Each structure stands twice: as structure tokens, then as C-alpha cells.
Chain A
Amino acid sequence: VKNRLWLALRLLDLPLRSFPIHPVEQAVCVLENQKVIAANTISVKAGVRLGMDATTAHLLSGCITYQRDCKQEQEYLNQLADHLYRYTPYIQVYRSQRVSDSGFLLEISRCLKLFGGTLSLCEKIFSAVEDTPYSHGLAHTQEGAWLLSYDRYSISGTEDTSVFIERLNRIPIDRFFDWPDAVLAMQRTGFVSLADITQHIQSQSISSIKKRFGQNFARYLTNIFGIEQDFQQAALFDKPIEIYQPKTFFFETLQFDYPVMQIDQLHAPVEQMLQTLSEHLQKRKLACQRIEWQFFDIHQNSHCIRVHCAQAQNEWRLLYDLTLIQLASKQLPFAVDAMELICRDLQKRQDKNHSLNFYGEVSNNRSNDGLALIEGKLKARLGEHAIFKIRYQDSHVPEKSSPQVSVFTSSEQQLPPCHQTAPRPTWLFENAVPIKFQKQSLFWRGKLELLTDPERIENQWWDTPIMRDYYIARREDDLRLWVYQDLLSGGWFVQGVFSG
């Protein structure tokens, strides 16, 4: 904790950033629960204040009002975080639970050398966010840095922990916006600033605060100063700081010299762009499962094609084949002037499982890749359920013992002893076909003769009872069929064919 240095960036008008830009002279306010939580300069000049109700704000300034859009705010924060990732990998987004304050907490102690000291690094960070009004705070703890962002201390680069503690001591306790109940209780007891709390802790220890105001609030206070709650035994390790993971994204665009009319002419650019994607993925050990093609004509009309694979790919071949299948089946509505390849949600390639090859056997990874390729192609052409495997499922009811599964699922192949010797057909009809019963004989595309004694299958007494007597029957053309008599209805059915 001693060596850490946190820079807080509190964004002042984030709620306003989520909405379209208006002319400078237009008053704009953002509302939450019918109260103003953000207002632009014109509105403020007209007398609008934060916390004011919507009607008053409108009467004062004639402003355009918007309801707060937290999703857009988060999107904006994500974009800015990606921007700040150039300076430090330790980025945390801070969003207050009670007020509309949001911003970033950046741990910069490990990047100082690279960027030439605190002052130089902070200047670089400030220039990166100069488009957005902000206020900053610097401290040895993240909570402390956030609280100090409400004061305007300039950064000299020589600050140390004692300076930060001294600055923190001056903070009034009503700045703990996320702890309204505790703040109220403390104010009643006579606490005004953080210095009062420090003094109390030094004279009596933190445990009295913990008892009166709760453990969570006590932990918050100790976090502000970066002191240990348990003075008897200091924590062995500091809590590690999470490393920011920027969202990975691939985008490639291509402009044609002249509008392309024929799909054949798109093959080469599609291949070229997918090869670029493949190179990008392989360099970063990433894989993608879906890509998106956007085609544009000269009038900016667009047409989108989405290509999905069953498994994440980092090779271009399958994506290329699937794209061509889609292009062949769907005609483009216009002559293409430009095209874009967009790939979101890139996954880590390492997540893919490979079985260890101890005995130097031929790896089946290649065949798995080949399977993914053919599966993807056939599914794109024939539909989702056109290619499958079957597996054995322990059930006495034949139609339930052979379910269809995905081609990537491994098939259960262990028959229970009772089914190992019982004659079973190789083909099964999904729905048993009724057999005609005439003049004491059975007919299904020919006269049937029963060859064996019945094998009774009784099951599902708890649900829809099944009671059947199964026989092997020989048709006139010597084809062997698996037929049964439903003992509940008395009807006869053919359910399978013996062919081996």
C-alpha cells in the first residue's frame, strides 16, 4: 500500500455526454427521478442547480431534458478506459451508488519511470481526456484520491503520503456521498472533518467506530488512509490490483475503385480481408466465432451478412467458405462500393482444450478442425439440425435410447448387459409406422411373418405407460423388420429394420 499512487479522474458532465450534441446556446438538463443531475453551462447560467426538480429547471431555462442513460454512460467510460490503457494497465471505473459521479481510478506508481515521473505522466493523462471536463485527485489510496478529486490541488510531483494524509484530514465528512446514514450519525456526534475521525482513531482505536457505525464504514475509513484495521497482525499481502482488459475488436475496411456488381468479384477481397483477420488473431493468440460483413453502395445504403461458426476459429478458411455460401444464397441488393469486416467478441485461443499426447499418436486436433470445417459448411447450407451424431442412452424405450447429439459431443457406446445380446435393428423409425392386421395376418408393404417369441418392454408406468411385445418379422422380400404389438391399444407397428 505504501508504494501505490492513485490518480482519480472524476468526469463532471458524464450524464450529458450520453446524448446528442446541441448548439452552445441550447440549455440541456439530464434528469433522474425527476431531479436534475447534470446541466450544461447555459442552464446553469439561467439558474438551474443540481437536485432541482424538472419543472423548475424547465421554467427557468426552457431546457431540453433527457432521462439519464446509464448504459450509454458505461459505453462512454469503456471508450475512455481504452484510451487511458496506453498509460497504465491498472484502471478501475468508479461509479457512485448514490450520486451521479463517475470516473476512473488509475494506479500509476508502476508507470512513473516509463513516462518520466508523476508530473509528466499526469500531464499526458490529462491531455488524453481533455475533451471531457474532469477534476483530478492524487493520493496513496484509491478512496483517498477520489475524495481529493473534489478539491483542486495542483500536482507538483513531489507529494508523499504525509502530504496526502494532511490533505485528506481537511475533507469534510459530508463528502462521503455513498454513506449518508453513517455521515448523519457522525455529524450528530460532532464529527465534522476527517481530521476529527483520525484524532478519534488515534486516541481510542477504530473498534469504537466499527461498533457504532458498522464494519463496512470502518473499513472504508481505514481504506481512505491505507491503514490496517487489525493492528495486531498486518495483512501478509496487499490486495492485488486488477489489471484492465481492453475489449478486443477487429475492424477492416476496403473501398473499391468502381462498384462491384458480381459476387464472384467479391471472392478475392473477402479472402484478403479474412487473411488479415487470421493474421491478427494468430499474432494475439485469439479466436473468433462470428464475423460481420457490411457492404455499402455509393448512396451509403448498407447490407449486413453475419457468419457464425460452431467453434471459435483463428484460421480464415472456414469463415471464407461460410461467407461464400451466404453470398451465393443471398443476392446483394446493390453494386458494392465499399465493404467492412467487423469481428467483435474475440476469445482467448488458449481456452481451447487439447488432449495431451503422451504416446506420440497422431493428434486428432487436425481431424477436429476438419470436422468443424465440414460441419460449418453443411450447417450453413442445410440448416442447424442437418448434421448430427447419435449416442446410446440407457432407456428401455427404443425411441429414447438413441438420441441425436452435436457432432462435437462424444458418444456413449457402453451397452448394459441386458441389451448386449438382445437382437436390435440398425435402423429405427422416429415414429413407429402402423401395420395392417387383416385375416389373421400382418401387412406392411408386403405380408409379414413373425420369426421370434415376443420380447416384452414395459416402462414409464409413472408417466404414460408403455407395454409392448417386440418381434422380428420377415417380409415377403425377406427383409427383417422389428415390429411390436402395443398391448394397451392392441395395434401393431413397425419400428425398425434389421440390415446387419
Chain B
Amino acid sequence: MKSDKRNSTNPPSLEQLLQRGDIWRGQSKHVAPHTALETGHEDLNDGLLQRGWPLASLVEICQTGALNGPGYPGGHTSAVSQGEWLLLAPALRQLADGYTVLLNPPALPFAAGLIQMGIDLDRLLVVTTETKTDFLASFTELVRTDICVALLAWQPRPGLNYTELRKCQLACSNGKGVYFLFRPISVRQQSSPAAVRLRTQLHPTSMEIHIFKQKGSLNRADEKSIYLPLPEHWQPIAPHANLDRSIEKTAATILPLKRSQS
């Protein structure tokens, strides 16, 4: 009993403290092992301290691409969409067990599109909430459960304040999965306790990703953005003139028919 008591009062050693993954160590890029999920994009891995999406942390993705408009049915969410499946699908495809949960998605997930992306529909759940209170309760409930290994949440309307975001971040720190919160670009200037904050922006041929906050690193404003190429079928088809030209090229390669001996 005595020895136990003595041990419990002993302060932890520096080595013990440094073994913890959540101790900020200034500019040192030391990270605890097995705490990240590879993003599936090499450039993005390079940009993230842990070379992947940090586990048990809140990742905030600020997007433009608002879908809320007059007549849009999901009026209770800040419905934004800006290539999120393009960004996250490679990481989600690596998750062998557990469920990916979409909380308050901006629209209904479309089965055919997701199957084409290689998303396992059997392990994809959709949860919809009407109010901010329900959103927060569902978010914390989902993050705490073992079966939810990835959570993609779209913030409700009205938006989350700092205290509510802190609740989400605290809940995430008790979980084991990857947790993403999509918010409109307008909140970028507001403070947020999220471990990683990034902004996505679509361009005609690429998607720009700018990481503007990362726990354990002092991001500079002039830090370079990462560009992911857009899928081919998003590009405009070649004009008809080009099509004609390509046919001519192939036509030239066709060999003349052999004449019969007779």
C-alpha cells in the first residue's frame, strides 16, 4: 500500500511525458506512431505533420460550394460540397472494419456514384438531425462508439460556436477514428479548437487544398497549397473539330486491303 501511495505521488518523468502524443514540442515534428490514417494523396501526406489524417482529432474542412438555395430540402444544414469524396475516399477505402458515418450530409448519398468510387455501402451509415442540440448529441455519441471509424459531419444551422466545437474536439480525443467537420468558408477567420483546419477550393482542372492550421506546427500564411487533379470525366469533352482530327489520325494507320490473287 505504501509503495503504491509513493508511486502515485511521484511526478511523471520527462521521458514519460514525451511519449505522449498530445504534448506540443515546439517546432519539433515528433509525432507518436500509429496516430494517423494515410490520406491516399502523396502531396497531402507531405503537408500533414503526421503524414496522414490525425486519428482521434477533429479535422475541420472549410468549403465554398454552397448547395442551400431556395427549394433545397435540407435547409437545416450548412450544405456545402467541394470535392469531399475526391479528398477523403482514398483514406476511407483503407478502413477495413467499422462504419463510416455521414452526419447531416448536404444531400442524399447516391449509391451508383459511391460504388464507382469504391465506397462500401454496407459500411456507410447516414444520420440526419433537425437541431443543433441533436447534432451535438449525435456527434459525441457517434465519436464515442467503437464501430464508427470515420465520421463526416456537416455543421448544422445555426453554426457551431467555439464552446460547441470544443465539445466536439474533446469527444474526438476520446475516440479512435478519423473525424471531419465540414463548415462554410465564411468561418475561416473564426477561432476553432480543431487539430487540423484546411480550406478546399475547386479550379477548372484541380482542387486546391490549403492547410491553415495544424496542431504542433506554426503554419505561415504564404505556405504553399496542394493541388489534386480533378477526375477526367469532370473535364469538358473535346470539341468536334478535335474529334474529327483524331479520327483522321487513326484512319491513316489503317492498312490497305490486300487484293485477291485472282
Contacts and interface: CB of A to CB of B under 8 A. Distances in A.
Contacts of B66: 445
A431 B107 CA distance: 10
Nearest to A409: B122
A420 B117 CA distance: 10
Contacts of B120: 413
B21 interface: no
Contacts of B128: 382, 385-386
Contact of A500 (B84, B107, B127, B235): B84
A386 B141 CA distance: 14
Contacts of B203: 478
Given A367-B97, A381-B134, A427 B111 contact: no
Interface stretch (A4-12, A97-105, A228-236, A370-378): A370-378
Given A389-B121, A497-B67, A479 B112 contact: no
Contacts, number: 179
B138 interface: yes
Nearest to A364: B97
Contact of B111 (A370, A388, A390): A390
B121 A390 contact: yes
B142 interface: yes
Contact of A429 (B64, B97, B107, B121): B107
Interface residues of B, number: 60
A499 B107 CA distance: 12
Interface residues on A, range: 35 or more
Contact of A374 (B83, B109, B137, B145): B145
Interface stretch (B9-17, B98-106, B186-194): B98-106
B121 A427 contact: no
B147 A498 contact: no
A370 B147 contact: yes
A370 B98 CA distance: 10
Contacts of B86: 499-500
A415 B116 contact: yes
B117 to A, nearest CB: 5
A389 B137 CA distance: 20
Contacts of B137: 381
B229 interface: no
Contact of A427 (B110, B134, B237): B110
- Of A362, A426, A428, most buried by chain B (CB within 10 Å of CB) is A426
A123 interface: no
A286 to B, nearest CB: 25
Contacts of B72: 429, 433
29 contacts: A367-B98, A367-B147, A374-B141, A378-B141, A386-B128, A389-B122, A390-B114, A390-B121, A390-B124, A390-B126, A392-B112, A398-B112, A402-B108, A413-B111, A424-B116, A427-B105, A427-B106, A428-B107, A429-B107, A433-B69, A451-B236, A451-B237, A452-B237, A453-B237, A474-B234, A478-B204, A479-B81, A499-B86, A500-B89
> Which 9 residue pairs are nearest across A and B when measured between Cβ atoms?
A500-B85, A478-B202, A411-B121, A427-B107, A428-B110, A402-B111, A370-B147, A392-B111, A424-B113
